[in-house]
Structure 1
Amino acid sequence: MIRNAIGRGGRAAVAVVALCAVTASAQGPAAAAPSPAPDPARPTSLTEVREELDRLYHDAEVATDTYNAAEERAAGQSARVAALAEEMASGKAALKRLTFRMGAAARAQYRSGGLPLDVRLLLSTDPDDVLDEVGRARQAQHGVDALLREQTRVQKELRAKSEAAAAQLKKLQGSRKAGADARGRIEKRIAAARTLETRLEEKERRRLLEMQKESADEAHADFLKSGKLKGVGGGASEEGAIAVAFVTEQLGKPYEWAAEGPDTYDCSGLTSQAWAAAKRIIPRTSQEQWRQLPRVGLKDMRPGDLIIYHEDASHVGMYIGNGSIIHAPRPGRNITVADAGSMFVLGVVRPDQRP
């Protein structure tokens, strides 16, 4: 039984405590301090332990989706910041060249300046040369005006890019904070689950596994009774067959949150990498896979399709046919084959659905 659980052994312990209390009253106030009161939030049965573990691992999985999404956003934002920095450097170099040309033009104008046009015409022996020179000066002025307009345009672009870079940097910082917060939630919940599991004796751990399997079998049996899988039997597409072959090759590898292979995976890391092997890029998280990918009915399901689980779309597995999926279950477990209806089915999406 669970250590410190209240049961037959617990009643014996209560009797011992009562006897000690009587003895203590006879001996006076020097008796030992009483044992601490039991924690009312602590599970006291295997059923409660199973429910608590399910809750903790589910919360960890939701936080993993949040972490993965934040990391994906951060990667995109980092790339955008780097691109903007490169564009700003190029713009600054262009502005420097324009400034140099503006200075050269100003110096040339200064050197060609001097007496007013009417005086130069009176003093010149060849007025046509003077007029030609004036024409060239006017052309030079037009060139200077064009340089000024280009300089203004480049400066405006640089300001816009600088503001865009600052905005992207702020978003990047927000994504990194969201990722760090999610990481904290994941680690906290996994640690709590492992602590809870270590309190169990070996026979209790075995019984807990049996209970979890019984619950999954019961859920799948209800799923089959519903008739939702009747008529399902379509073959995989060429891309779907590649994705199924990929997940099959990963069987037995450990679950690790936020992992995308090649040695460990989380649930959506496995499915996204499987479809990447089929040359189709899909969203990284199960929630985004559910939101963005085309949906199909259960009766139209075929191998390679992704089954999204739980009301919050926090888990995903790949349908491989015959009412089965391959998925990465949770921390402490390995990639495995499971019944398609062993968890609450939210729906099915098809990464290679043609419009």
Structure 2
Amino acid sequence: MIELLERICNTPGVSGFEGAVQDLVFRELSPVVDEVWRDRMGNVIALKRATRADPDGPTRKLIYSAHADEIGMIVSHIDPQGFIRFRAIGGLDPRTLPSQRVLVHATKSGPVELKGVIAPQAGWLGTPADRERVFPINELYIDLGRPAARVKELVEIGDVVTFASRFERLNEDMVMGSNFDDRIGVYCLIEAMKRLENPDVDVYAVSSVQEEVGVRGIPTAANVIEPDIGVAIDGSLPSDTPYAKPEEHQCALGDGTGIYLIDNRTIGSPALVRGLIDTCQRHAIPYQRNLGGGTDASEIQRRGAGALATTIGAPTRYMHSTVQLCHLADIEATTRLLATFATEAARVLPSDWR
């Protein structure tokens, strides 16, 4: 478990530049599915065909989708001193950026990773107000610690920047990384397909692209597949830290996978939510009811003739930071639910569906 999870999390893949991590996903899924391919958007799609479909009706289609992309940055300017300005790709929180170590993925003279830091302002240089304010991204810069001429030899506008933090195991239960949103989901997707036996629906595992910049990747896959059911796999929002109010409590690390009832883009289809909960209860899979943020489920639900859709996922603390935390038991619960539900998914569909 840990070895594959670490490889997935340590492979770069900022939105729009997911090639390396998608190569990994393609290799891992190829031996365990009936077909695997990429679409023109860059999504990796793997199909495991039903072995127990209803002989008297159409074979139904289930999408499992986890997004491969992570938030990051792109070089927008190199000043005369060799300092690099950048723009955000995805929802970066400016409060978390100063003092972060980064990697500039330079391509001008051949691919190379250049270590750098998002420069903080020294406390004695600014005003008292500066020490209290959050610097907007357009005032921040990256320092590579190299002469300006050398920076300009290596770096050009459009080079991608990622955070330098790596996957870590904090203890026997907890792991930490900068891109658990949504590399944990990608791991669960791959591992569930490896475990899946005798599905009663055609199962399409989609490692989608560009979710962090507006859920742009999954629509092309869903348009082609035309699923009956869609389950996005993404981080659940825990409320088990001092930042959360007691009355906001929904889920906690270590208590199971989160099943979304509603988020800011999707109302989870009640029949599907009930079916997922029923699977958890009958197979002793720990789960939690959750209200979350927008995911691929919104686009799966609304494509073609429509689909039952919702999201599940391991609770993840401090998403969109470089210190995201997950509990290994929740990752396992999410994987088990995916692998088990696909063997009995057809039962959640209304009998009068065409």
State TM-score, norm by structure 1: 0.22
Of structures 1 and 2, the larger Rg is shown by 1
Query: Relative to total residues, which structure has the larger helix share, 1 or 2?
Result: 1
**Quick check: which one's strand share is greater?**
2
Normalising by structure 2, what TM-score?
Answer: 0.22
